[in-house]
Chains A and B, each alone.
Chain A
Amino acid sequence: MNRSFEDAVPTKEASHKGLNSYYRIRLDDLEGALALLQEEGARLSTITGKDARDHLEVLYHFAIWGELHTVIVDLPYDKPDIPTITNHFVNALLYERELIGLLGINVIGIPDARPLELPPKYTDPTAPLRRV
């Protein structure tokens, strides 16, 4: 990256190892982080959702040539809402649909909210990758 992520976006925690960088940010700063990454020509590689037992985590993995930059956002259990990033990265749709189906995360403003892998008849209220 040409610009330092930590200088451009308020970061709660950052670590670097080899080609990988991890930044934990507040949900409010996500928009700024996405704008920066878009400016740097990053490609969204995938999104990981994780049940961290007391909260949920969404990890956005961005590739810039050989580097991988992971932006981590924490979500509370009682309000697992996160805005869609398809307005910045159109290929986020499939990964966000995965978050909806498998982790029960509410992606606000997503153009297609059908769970990606789950069948229409899936009725269990608990998302499959939640630690219940």
Chain B
Amino acid sequence: MADVNERRFANLKVPIGPSHPALEEPARFLFEVEGEKVINVDYEIGYNHRSIERLCQERPLSKVVYLVERICGICSHTHPLNHVERVEDIADIEVTARAKYIRTIYAELERIHSHMLWAGIAGHEIGYYTLFMYTWREREKVMDLFEMLSGSRIMHGCNTVGGVKWNVAEEQAKSAVRVLTYLDTAADKITKAVLKDSNIAERGKGVGSLSREDAVRLGAVGPNARASGVPEDTRVMCKYAAYGDFDLEPQTAKDGDVVAQALVRLAELKQSIWLTKELFANLPEGPIQVEYDEIPPGRSVGRTEAPRGELIHYTETNGTRFFERIKIRSPTLANIPSYVPKFLGCQIADIPIIAASIDPCFSCTDRMTVIKDGKRKIVSARELKSGRI
């Protein structure tokens, strides 16, 4: 195997992306091929910069939670959750049990809809449109649940330093449990449709494999690593929010190929549906917010399990109205190096499904700096609102 950091191409090169029908994410891959076989790959990211880390340092503390929520449309809960947990860690704020449960409910609903979205995308990439339509139809029910709970399908605005903003009424909990019971049956049907289908087995078995050694060596995270047998799940390891109250097993597979990725995500889908029902059933009584004084100078680094894997936020405060530094490492960035062993030796026709198999999300991977005409540009709030950037 060529070294993952080696970039010398001698044969025919096939560029895919940043805009390409087979890759619906703004990343560019350059494949060196011998006939139909991929023998080397290079990648380039950075087509979706929005200056968010810099902007986080230039906004008042209370505004940053809104900004981090907008890093990613799918992970619009786990980013602010990690952010507020970092601030609470710095200021020693102990959040109420009810707030922790509500945060965990949103986090698990996010995982459910993200894994359903992934199953649909995987179906789309191999031309299995029935699966795509079916999973996305069921996913809509989770989006409706979000709308019922927070008033919004995507930007829930749930997290705030010291707790959550939206409480859960008893009727809402009952209605949510009904939907989750339905989704449990739907998840069984999706699992059966994926695992019993001979076409999926042929398109996915042994395609895009990642060995356990490579997953560890390349720092793979989340379902991508667990599909290769690395039992690391931040929910289990760090027990943040309300995860410490439940006994979760990391869902793993062995082969690290497309089928193993599906196995892990579908098992997690079932697990998350069960967990969300448990959370609603055991929702503690009490307030959802606590008051706090000023945020002192300090630093905190911590992880949450986003649907795509380990998400890290490093947050540093300096006692002023502004953050000293906020650094965000999204799971996709950690998973990009594992593309190299996955792509090497594959057929060109398998590139789209391998690319989709790690569930890449470049909206949170590229999040740093706005570049215009080769010059750095700091975007003002007015410009951001007017769309003139």
A91 to B239, CA, bound (A): 26
- Would you call A65 and B219 a contact (CB within 8 A)? no
A128 to B46, CA, bound (A): 14
Q: Across the interface, name the chain B residue whose C-beta is closest to A121.
A: B374
- Would you call B46 and A117 a contact (CB within 8 A)? yes
A50 to B232, CA, bound (A): 28
- Would you call A90 and B217 a contact (CB within 8 A)? yes
- Would you call A124 and B5 a contact (CB within 8 A)? no
Assuming the A-B contacts A46-B327, A112-B7, A119-B371, are A90 and B316 also in contact, with contact meaning beta carbons closer than 8 angstroms in the complex? no
CB neighbors of A among B247-299 (8 A): 299
Segment at the A interface, from B9-17, B93-101, B328-336: B328-336
Check B216 for interface membership: any CB of A closer than 8 A: yes
A50 to B325, CA, bound (A): 7
Produce 1/0 per residue, A16-31, CB < 8 A to B: 0111101000000000
Check B45 for interface membership: any CB of A closer than 8 A: yes
Check A48 for interface membership: any CB of B closer than 8 A: yes
Q: Which of B45, B46, B303 contacts A45 (CB 8 A)?
A: B303
Q: Which of A20, A102, A121 contacts B300 (CB 8 A)?
A: A20
Check B369 for interface membership: any CB of A closer than 8 A: yes
Chain A nearest CB, measured from B188 CB (Å): 32
Interface size on B, residues (CB 8 A): 43
Contacts of B327 in A (CB 8 A): 46, 48-50
Contacts of B371 in A (CB 8 A): 118-119, 122
Q: Which of A65, A91, A124 contacts B376 (CB 8 A)?
A: A124
Chain A nearest CB, measured from B302 CB (Å): 7
Q: Across the interface, name the chain B residue whose C-beta is closest to A50.
A: B325
- Would you call A129 and B54 a contact (CB within 8 A)? yes
A61 to B312, CA, bound (A): 9
A116 to B44, CA, bound (A): 8
- Would you call B368 and A44 a contact (CB within 8 A)? no
- Would you call B237 and A65 a contact (CB within 8 A)? yes
A59 to B327, CA, bound (A): 11
- By size class, the interface of chain A is 35 or more
- Would you call B5 and A90 a contact (CB within 8 A)? yes
- Would you call B374 and A117 a contact (CB within 8 A)? no
Chain A nearest CB, measured from B212 CB (Å): 13
A50 to B248, CA, bound (A): 36
- Would you call A91 and B337 a contact (CB within 8 A)? yes
Assuming the A-B contacts A117-B46, A117-B366, A118-B371, are A59 and B89 also in contact, with contact meaning beta carbons closer than 8 angstroms in the complex? no
Produce 1/0 per residue, B42-84, CB < 8 A to A: 0001100101011000000000000000000000000000000
- Would you call B46 and A89 a contact (CB within 8 A)? no
A118 to B329, CA, bound (A): 17
CB neighbors of A among B299-349 (8 A): 299-303, 310, 312, 314, 316, 324-325, 327, 329, 333-334, 336-337
Q: Which of A22, A46, A119, A129 contacts B299 (CB 8 A)?
A: A22
Q: Which of B49, B218, B368 contacts A91 (CB 8 A)?
A: B218
Contacts of B312 in A (CB 8 A): 45-46, 61
Contacts of A94 in B (CB 8 A): 333, 336-337
Q: Across the interface, name the chain B residue whose C-beta is closest to A41.
A: B216
- Would you call B314 and A48 a contact (CB within 8 A)? yes
Q: Across the interface, name the chain A residue whose C-beta is closest to B326.
A: A48
Residue numbers of B with Cβ under 8 A of A are 4-7, 45-46, 49, 51, 53-54, 89, 216-219, 232, 237-239, 299-303, 310, 312, 314, 316, 324-325, 327, 329, 333-334, 336-337, 366, 368-369, 371, 374-376
A-B contact pairs, 28 of them (CB 8 A): A17-B300, A44-B219, A45-B334, A46-B333, A48-B314, A48-B327, A49-B327, A50-B327, A59-B314, A66-B237, A68-B302, A90-B337, A91-B334, A94-B336, A94-B337, A98-B368, A102-B369, A112-B5, A116-B46, A117-B46, A117-B366, A122-B371, A122-B376, A126-B376, A128-B54, A128-B368, A129-B54, A129-B369
**Contacts beyond the supplied A93-B4, A111-B5: 4 A-B pairs with Cβ under 8 Å:** A18-B89, A19-B238, A50-B325, A111-B6
Q: Which 4 A-B pairs have the closest CB atoms?
A: A91-B219, A46-B329, A117-B46, A66-B237
Residue numbers of A with Cβ under 8 A of B are 17-20, 22, 43-46, 48-50, 59, 61, 63, 65-66, 68, 70, 86, 89-91, 93-95, 98, 102, 111-112, 116-119, 121-124, 126, 128-129
